[in-house]
Structure 1
Amino acid sequence: MNKKLAKYIPALQWLSSYNQKDFRGDLVAGLTTAVMLIPQGMAYAMLAGLPPIIGLYASTVPLIVYALFGTSRQLAVGPVAMVSLLTAAGVGAIAQGGTEAYIMYAILLALMVGVMQFGMGLARMGMLTNLLSHPVLAGFTSAAALIIGFSQLKHILGLDLERSNHIHQILMQAFAQIGDTQIYALIIGVISVALLVVLKKYKPMWPRALAVVVLGTLTVWGFGLHEQGVAIVGDVPAGLPSFAMPEISWDAMGELFPIALTIALVSFMESIAVAKKVAQRHGYEIDSNQELIGLGAANIFGSMFGSYTVTGGFSRTAVNDQAGAKTGMAAIITAVVIGLTLMFLTGMFYYLPKSVLAAIIMTAVFGLIDVKEAKHLWKVNRSELALMGITFVATLSVGIEEGILVGVGASMLWFLYRTTKPHVAVMGRLPDTTVYRNVERYPEVETVDGLLTVRIDSQFYYGNVTFLKDTLRNLEKQMNKPLRAVILDGAGINQLDSSAETALHHIVEEYQERGIGFYFAAPKGPVRDIMKRASLWKALGEDHITYTVHEAVENAVEDYIDGEPVRRTGAERVQRAAKDEDLESSPFAEPVKSPA
Structure 2
Amino acid sequence: MQPPLVGLTPRNLGRELLAGVTLIAIAIPLNIGYAQIAGLPATAGLYALVVPTIVYALVVSSRQLVASPDAAAAALVASSLIGLAAAGSDDYLTMAMAQAIICGVMFVLAAVFKLGFLASFLSKPILVGFVGGLALDILVSQVAKMLGVKIASGGEFLEKLGGLVTGLPQLNVWSTLISVCSVLILVLGRRLLAAVPWALVVLVLATVVVALTHAQDAGVAVLGEVPAGPPVLTWPMLDAGAWLALIPSALALTMVTIAEGLLVSRSYGEKRHYPTRPNRDLLAFGLGNIAAGASGSFAMGSSTSRTAAMDQAGSRTQLPSLVLAVGTLLLLLFGTALLADIPSPAIGAIVGVAVLPLLGIREFAVLWRLDRFEFVIGAACFLTTLFVGSIPGIVVAFVLALVNLAKRAASPAIDVLADDGEPTDSLLDDAASGAVTAPGVIVVRMAAPLFFANGGTFADAVKEAIGAAGGPDAVQHLVIDMEAVTDVDVTGAESFEGLRDWLDDAGVGLAFSRLRARARPRLERFGILGDETVFPTNRAAVTALSSDRTGS
What is the TM-score with the length of structure 1 in the denominator? Answer: 0.86
**Per the alignment, in what secondary structure is the counterpart of residue 291 of structure 2?**
helix
Of 512, 516, 531, the residue aligned with 1:539 is: 531
1:578 match: none
Unaligned runs of 5+ in 2: none
1:550 match: 539
* Aligned counterparts, 1:367-516, within 5 A: 367-428=357-418, 434-439=420-425, 447-480=437-470, 482=473, 483-501=475-493, 503-516=495-508
Measure the CA separation in 2 of the matches of 1:323 and 1:239: 31
2:517 counterpart of 1:522 = no
**Per the alignment, in what secondary structure is the counterpart of residue 439 of structure 1?**
strand
2:160 match: 170
**Per the alignment, in what secondary structure is the counterpart of residue 21 of structure 1?**
coil
| Amino acid corresponding to residue 41 of structure 2 in structure 1 | P
Does the C-alpha gap of structure 1 residues 271 and 536 become closer, same or farther in structure 2, counting only changes over 3 Å? closer
Shift of 1:191: 1.6
1:154 match: 144
Does the C-alpha gap of structure 1 residues 535 and 58 become closer, same or farther in structure 2, counting only changes over 3 Å? closer
1:130 match: 120
Measure the CA separation in 2 of the matches of 1:360 and 1:148: 12
Measure the CA separation in 1 of the matches of 2:378 and 2:151: 30
Measure the CA separation in 2 of the matches of 1:417 and 1:48: 37
Task: Note if contact 2:119-2:262 (Cα within 8 Å) is conserved in structure 1.
Answer: no
Does the C-alpha gap of structure 1 residues 35 and 416 become closer, same or farther in structure 2, counting only changes over 3 Å? same
Does the C-alpha gap of structure 1 residues 43 and 535 become closer, same or farther in structure 2, counting only changes over 3 Å? closer
Task: Note if contact 1:521-1:546 (Cα within 8 Å) is conserved in structure 2.
Answer: yes
| Amino acid corresponding to residue 103 of structure 1 in structure 2 | L
Provide the alpha-carbon RMSD of the alignment: 2.5
Task: Note if contact 2:48-2:69 (Cα within 8 Å) is conserved in structure 1.
Answer: yes
2:181 counterpart of 1:191 = yes
Does the C-alpha gap of structure 1 residues 535 and 145 become closer, same or farther in structure 2, counting only changes over 3 Å? closer
Q: Write the deviation string for residues 212-242 of structure 1: whole angstroms up to 9, x where unpaired.
A: 1011111111111101111111111111112
| Amino acid corresponding to residue 518 of structure 1 in structure 2 | L
Shifted more, 362-371 versus 157-166: the winner is 157-166
Does the C-alpha gap of structure 1 residues 308 and 281 become closer, same or farther in structure 2, counting only changes over 3 Å? same
Task: Note if contact 1:517-1:556 (Cα within 8 Å) is conserved in structure 2.
Answer: no
Shift of 1:289: 0.6
Shift of 1:364: 0.3
* Aligned counterparts, 1:46-445, within 5 A: 46-163=36-153, 166-428=156-418, 434-439=420-425
Measure the CA separation in 2 of the matches of 1:328 and 1:288: 16
1:581 match: none
Q: Write the deviation string for residues 2-51 of structure 1: whole angstroms up to 9, x where unpaired.
A: xxxxx2xx44473xx85433432221111111111111111111111111
Measure the CA separation in 2 of the matches of 1:193 and 1:439: 58
Does the C-alpha gap of structure 1 residues 164 and 422 become closer, same or farther in structure 2, counting only changes over 3 Å? farther
Measure the CA separation in 1 of the matches of 2:78 and 2:527: 58
Measure the CA separation in 2 of the matches of 1:560 and 1:349: 89
| Amino acid corresponding to residue 68 of structure 1 in structure 2 | L
Larger radius of gyration: 1
Task: Note if contact 1:428-1:439 (Cα within 8 Å) is conserved in structure 2.
Answer: no
**Per the alignment, in what secondary structure is the counterpart of residue 295 of structure 2?**
coil
Task: Note if contact 1:516-1:560 (Cα within 8 Å) is conserved in structure 2.
Answer: no
Measure the CA separation in 1 of the matches of 2:311 and 2:130: 27
**Per the alignment, in what secondary structure is the counterpart of residue 444 of structure 2?**
strand
Shift of 1:55: 0.9
Does the C-alpha gap of structure 1 residues 83 and 219 become closer, same or farther in structure 2, counting only changes over 3 Å? same
**Per the alignment, in what secondary structure is the counterpart of residue 512 of structure 2?**
strand
2:30 counterpart of 1:44 = no
Identity %: 27
Shifted more, 378-387 versus 103-112: the winner is 378-387
Task: Note if contact 1:11-1:67 (Cα within 8 Å) is conserved in structure 2.
Answer: no
| Amino acid corresponding to residue 334 of structure 1 in structure 2 | L
Does the C-alpha gap of structure 1 residues 181 and 13 become closer, same or farther in structure 2, counting only changes over 3 Å? closer
Shift of 1:329: 2.4
| Amino acid corresponding to residue 527 of structure 1 in structure 2 | A
Unaligned runs of 5+ in 1: 1-6, 564-596
Measure the CA separation in 2 of the matches of 1:428 and 1:166: 60
Task: Note if contact 1:74-1:321 (Cα within 8 Å) is conserved in structure 2.
Answer: yes
Does the C-alpha gap of structure 1 residues 138 and 536 become closer, same or farther in structure 2, counting only changes over 3 Å? closer
| Amino acid corresponding to residue 546 of structure 2 in structure 1 | V
Shift of 1:283: 2.2
Measure the CA separation in 1 of the matches of 2:5 and 2:230: 29
Measure the CA separation in 2 of the matches of 1:33 and 1:22: 16
Task: Note if contact 2:87-2:154 (Cα within 8 Å) is conserved in structure 1.
Answer: no
Measure the CA separation in 1 of the matches of 2:330 and 2:452: 62
**Per the alignment, in what secondary structure is the counterpart of residue 520 of structure 1?**
strand
Shift of 1:503: 4.5
Task: Note if contact 2:116-2:278 (Cα within 8 Å) is conserved in structure 1.
Answer: yes
Shifted more, 240-249 versus 468-477: the winner is 468-477
Does the C-alpha gap of structure 1 residues 305 and 527 become closer, same or farther in structure 2, counting only changes over 3 Å? closer
Aligned residues: 546
Does the C-alpha gap of structure 1 residues 457 and 156 become closer, same or farther in structure 2, counting only changes over 3 Å? same
What is the TM-score with the length of structure 2 in the denominator? Answer: 0.92
Shift of 1:313: 0.8
Shift of 1:170: 2.1
Task: Note if contact 2:416-2:437 (Cα within 8 Å) is conserved in structure 1.
Answer: no
**Per the alignment, in what secondary structure is the counterpart of residue 526 of structure 1?**
coil
Shift of 1:508: 3.1
Measure the CA separation in 1 of the matches of 2:452 and 2:518: 17
Measure the CA separation in 1 of the matches of 2:103 and 2:399: 22
Measure the CA separation in 1 of the matches of 2:518 and 2:548: 28
Shift of 1:533: 5.1
**Per the alignment, in what secondary structure is the counterpart of residue 525 of structure 1?**
coil
